[in-house]
């Protein structure tokens, strides 16, 4: 992130705009939405600037720029056609630690003006760093359509009761829970509809209730999917944004972790191949302990919590201690990997069934029902099978599958790092070694793999 987004207090901000054409006028009009004092310097001025002068909204000096114009200024916009003058003002302002923006010249901008959605006191600013203005307009259009124009009323309403809520509710967590419920429920709907009296009555009643009742904690077991953030469910995203604590593993991609509430505590309990950094029993107790402290805890898991995700073990602990929980399914790695590689797990001409198996048991063996797995017209998906690949190929052939049976190994499925190796049971070990496949990876065995080259659609590394 090259540009750090901040909101400046403009109550005592003195701004200088050099130039008085229509480009400069747009910056002036934007500044006039704030409390800033605006001074314009230019040898001539367009009609928009002159009108603002007549309305006594700005001060205009109709003359060339001089160095002293920077005195007592904290923010400068430069919008002239003189590139030498623009560069000179930039250098002078920078030397005096004054924030400066030379319009349409990114290298000479210490700050950039974002695209703004104004629902004061609610203001949303978005930016592309100056590189994609059309995309920025598109995003603003989408956001404008999502935000009610009366959302400003909610901001004013919240401000009115902010101090009272602070007095009544002792902790930051309790206040956050309170306001989330207010904004998610009928109190907010009444505010937007203009029923302020009813909204205030309901809010005060809720405030008294919450002040006298301890908020119970809860655990959400959330499937983060196979890696692509676009594959998260709406519910998963909503709960991730509500969490006080997020307990996550190494299969949760950085892009997905970015979607977690910014000030939530994040606890990493990742497990690498043959290296369990936090024992499962400790994770179970961690979830329970945080919930018993009254927190909303998201247990964020790659794939789906109930498919080789140990979700069942974790909620057994929660049930034993009487802790409320929810389970949010996710797209499991098998579905994600198969779909993004062009391998249908079932197909009328290739597979009548599909079975999921683990390539790594709790005792570090691969003691599976090989006879049941090695069936014709069946797709087999092995989770965590990289270490045991040689054994998997050997056993499937031993129990009846032809050595020519197609097999695929997929690394980092659904992400930009996705990599797929396709071969046969007889040669797959050598192919995977040559390709340098690393965890996380998943194995698909069966005739359906032969369709991969024809149905592949996702561009991989």
Q: Which residues are bridge partners to 276 per DSSP?
A: 271
Consult the annotation and say whether 437 binds a ligand: no
State the DSSP string of 162-191.
HHHHHHH--SHHHHHHHHHHHHHSHHHHHH
Tokens 């006879």: give the residue.
371
State the DSSP string of 4-68.
-------TT-EEEEE--SHHHHHHHHHHTTTT-EEEEEESS--HHHHHHHHTTSSEEEES---GG
Q: Give the integer Cα–Cα distance in Å for 58 and 413.
A: 57
271 is catalytic: yes
Consult the annotation and say whether 294 binds a ligand: no
State the DSSP string of 87-114.
HHHHHHHHHTT-EEEETT-GGGBSS-PP
What does the block give as tokens for 148?
């009610």
Consult the annotation and say whether 126 binds a ligand: no
Catalytic member of 69, 210, 228, 249 = 249
Consult the annotation and say whether 457 binds a ligand: no
Consult the annotation and say whether 413 binds a ligand: yes
Consult the annotation and say whether 370 binds a ligand: no
8 Å CB contact between 225 and 231: yes
Consult the annotation and say whether 320 binds a ligand: no
Q: What is the CA radius of gyration of the chain?
A: 30
Consult the annotation and say whether 332 binds a ligand: yes
Consult the annotation and say whether 384 binds a ligand: yes
94 is catalytic: no
- Going across the sheet that includes 37-42, the strands are 59-62, 37-42, 14-18, 75-78, 99-102
First-residue to last-residue Cα distance in the chain: 24
Consult the annotation and say whether 89 binds a ligand: no
Catalytic member of 168, 202, 235, 271 = 271
Consult the annotation and say whether 226 binds a ligand: yes
Consult the annotation and say whether 43 binds a ligand: yes
Consult the annotation and say whether 196 binds a ligand: no
**Binding site: what residues are annotated?**
22-23, 43-44, 226, 302-304, 307, 332-333, 384, 413
Catalytic residues, by residue number, are: 249, 271
Residues annotated within the binding site for NAD(+) are 22-23, 43-44
Binding-site members for S-adenosyl-L-methionine are: 226, 302-304, 307, 332-333, 384, 413
């Amino acid at each position: 992130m090259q540009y750090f987004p901040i909101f400046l207090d403009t109550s005592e901000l003195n701004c200088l705009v050099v130039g008085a054409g229509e480009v400069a006028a747009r910056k002036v009009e934007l500044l006039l939405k704030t409390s800033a004092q605006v001074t314009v310097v230019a040898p001539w001025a367009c009609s928009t600037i002159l009108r603002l002068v007549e309305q006594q909204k700005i001060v205009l000096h109709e003359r060339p720029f001089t160095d002293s114009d920077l005195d007592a200024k904290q923010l400068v916009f430069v919008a002239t056609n003189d590139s030498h003058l623009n560069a000179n003002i930039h250098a002078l302002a920078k030397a005096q630690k004054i924030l400066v923006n030379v319009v349409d010249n990114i290298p000479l901008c210490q700050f950039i003006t974002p695209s703004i959605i104004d629902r004061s006191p609610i203001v949303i600013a978005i930016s592309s760093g100056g590189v994609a203005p059309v995309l920025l307009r598109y995003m603003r259009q989408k956001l404008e359509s999502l935000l009610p124009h009366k959302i400003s009323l909610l901001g004013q309403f919240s401000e009115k009761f902010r101090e009272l809520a602070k007095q009544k509710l002792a902790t930051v967590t309790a206040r956050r829970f309170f306001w989330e419920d207010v904004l998610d429920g009928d109190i907010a709907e009444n505010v937007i509809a203009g029923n302020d009296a009813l909204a205030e009555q309901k809010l005060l009643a809720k405030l008294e209730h919450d002040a006298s009742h301890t908020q119970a904690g809860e655990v959400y077991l959330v499937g983060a999917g196979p890696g692509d953030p676009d594959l998260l469910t709406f519910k998963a995203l909503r709960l991730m944004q509500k969490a006080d604590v997020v307990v996550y593993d190494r299969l949760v991609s950085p892009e997905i972790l970015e979607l977690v509430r910014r000030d939530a505590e994040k606890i990493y309990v990742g497990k690498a191949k043959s290296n369990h950094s936090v024992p499962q029993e400790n994770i179970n107790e961690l979830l329970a302990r945080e919930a018993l402290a009254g927190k909303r805890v998201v247990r964020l898991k790659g794939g789906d919590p109930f498919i080789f995700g140990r979700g069942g073990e974790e909620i057994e602990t929660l049930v034993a201690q009487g802790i409320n929980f929810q389970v949010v399914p996710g797209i499991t790695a098998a579905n994600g990997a198969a779909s993004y590689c062009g391998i249908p797990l079932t197909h009328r001409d290739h597979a009548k069934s599909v079975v999921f198996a683990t390539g790594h048991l709790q005792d570090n063996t691969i003691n599976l029902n090989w006879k049941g797995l090695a069936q014709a017209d069946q797709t087999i998906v092995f989770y965590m099978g990289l270490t045991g690949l040689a054994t998997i190929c050997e056993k499937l052939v031993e129990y009846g599958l032809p050595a020519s049976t197609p097999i695929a190994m997929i690394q980092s499925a659904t992400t930009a790092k996705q990599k797929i190796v396709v071969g046969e049971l007889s040669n797959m070990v050598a192919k995977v070694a040559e390709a340098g496949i690393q965890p996380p990876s998943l194995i698909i065995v069966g005739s359906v793999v032969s369709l991969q080259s024809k149905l592949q659609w996702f561009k991989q590394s």
